[in-house]
Amino acid sequence: MASNFDFLKTIDKELYEIILDGEKLFRDEYFNQCTIQLRIFAEKMAKKILNHTNPNLTFDDTLNCLKDKIKTQEEKEFIEDLFFIKKIGNKSAHGEETAPKDTLEAIERAFEAAINYAYSKKKNEKLKKLQFDITLLVTQKPVKENKLVDKYIELAQEKKEELLNLKQGEFNSLVEKKDENGFKDKNYITNSKKYKKKELTPTQKKIKEKVKQAKKNLKQNINTPKKDTKKKKSKKQKKTAKLKHILFIIFVIISLIFILKMLIAF
């Protein structure tokens, strides 16, 4: 299984074994025991850096000696990380409960301190580019393996975006804005030869001419006012009609008188 501290395997196997146990305790949620193991890891590393042979030298003595020799910012950060790990490890050793977030911070600081320690041994610039991976700590698998499905989803999303951009580019190349009322096809502008009207055949010309003439005639018929077809009556006809009307009235009067006499007689 992989570990954030695999780079220590070829540099210092003793430290590597100690920190592996610390990671395992964290995964098993033994946070107090984990911080105590991290304190052991930090003390061993500090004594290796100081390179002092006195077996009675305490952790505090070692850190103070290293503190006096600080020359660079990296050395200062290295000592600060070790002090933090010692402090939280001492609390756990005295029975105080350690929060998971504090334990995690201690592991991250142990990682940074281990980077500085390894660099002091090998001077390999690649060590400074290493990043702590919480997922690797918990699962013992690199992110690229643990997030394989997410990677494929992300890849599919990128392909989708690429396709959408391609289609949008094609659309933009075919269409340009004409005015606020619509769009114009760029192909009509760039390839106008394709849109030239074809010449009509003689038969088509005749049909077109007849249609044109029919439209013209229809338009004229619509616009031409209708003539009054009723003929005006002559004076003679008027007099005859008037005479007929008078005679009809006289006939009606006589008929009425006759009917009255008949009724009186009976």
264: in domain? no
pLDDT at 145: 52
133: in domain? yes
**Pair (117, 42) in one structural domain:** yes
**Pair (80, 166) in one structural domain:** no
What is the Cα–Cα distance from 31 to 38, expressed in whole angstroms? 10
For 12-26, what is each residue's pLDDT tens digit? 999 999 999 999 999
pLDDT at 186: 46
Please state the rounded mean pLDDT for residues 121-139: 91
3-state secondary structure of 56: coil
Stronger pLDDT, 251 or 160, i.e. the higher one: 251
pLDDT at 266: 60
**Pair (67, 185) in one structural domain:** no
The total of structural domains in the chain comes to 2
Stronger pLDDT, 183 or 103, i.e. the higher one: 103
What is the Cα–Cα distance from 136 to 62, expressed in whole angstroms? 31
Q: Which of 120, 142, 164 is the last residue of a domain?
A: 142
For 59-88, what is each residue's pLDDT tens digit? 999 999 999 988 899 999 999 999 999 999
Kindly report the length of the chain: 266
Look at residue 119 and tell me whether its pLDDT is greater than 50. yes
**Pair (93, 154) in one structural domain:** no
Q: Which of 133, 161, 192 is the last residue of a domain?
A: 192
**Pair (60, 161) in one structural domain:** no
235: in domain? no
Burial state string for 62-97 with b = 16 or more CB within 10 A and e = fewer than 16: bbeebeeeeeeeebeebbebbbbbbebbebbeeeee
**What band does 102 get if pLDDT is binned at 50, 70 and 90?**
very high
114: in domain? yes
pLDDT at 79: 94
**Pair (19, 130) in one structural domain:** yes
**Pair (18, 138) in one structural domain:** yes
Contact criterion met (CB below 8 Å) for 115 and 128: yes
Closest by alpha carbon to 111, among 41, 24, 47?
Answer: 41
- What DSSP line would sit under 109-132, residue for residue? HHHHHHHHHHHHHH--GGGGG---
Stronger pLDDT, 232 or 56, i.e. the higher one: 56
- What DSSP line would sit under 158-225, residue for residue? HHHHHHHHHHHHHHHHHEEEEETTEEEEHHHHHTGGGGPPPPPPHHHHHHHHHHHHHHHHHHHHHHSP
| CATH number reported for the structural domain that contains residue 60 in this entry | 1.20.120
**Pair (103, 18) in one structural domain:** yes
Mean pLDDT of all residues belonging to the chain: 80
76: in domain? yes
pLDDT at 207: 76
Domain that holds residue 154: 149-192
**What band does 151 get if pLDDT is binned at 50, 70 and 90?**
low
Q: What percent of the chain has pLDDT over 70?
A: 76
Strand ranges (E), the chain: 175-179, 182-185
Contact criterion met (CB below 8 Å) for 107 and 137: yes
pLDDT at 176: 52
Please state the rounded mean pLDDT for residues 99-122: 94
What is the Cα–Cα distance from 22 to 30, expressed in whole angstroms? 9
What is the Cα–Cα distance from 228 to 134, expressed in whole angstroms? 104
Whole-model pTM above 0.85? no
Least trusted range by pLDDT, from 25-34, 50-59, 78-87: 50-59
Contact criterion met (CB below 8 Å) for 133 and 143: yes
pLDDT at 96: 92
**What band does 211 get if pLDDT is binned at 50, 70 and 90?**
confident
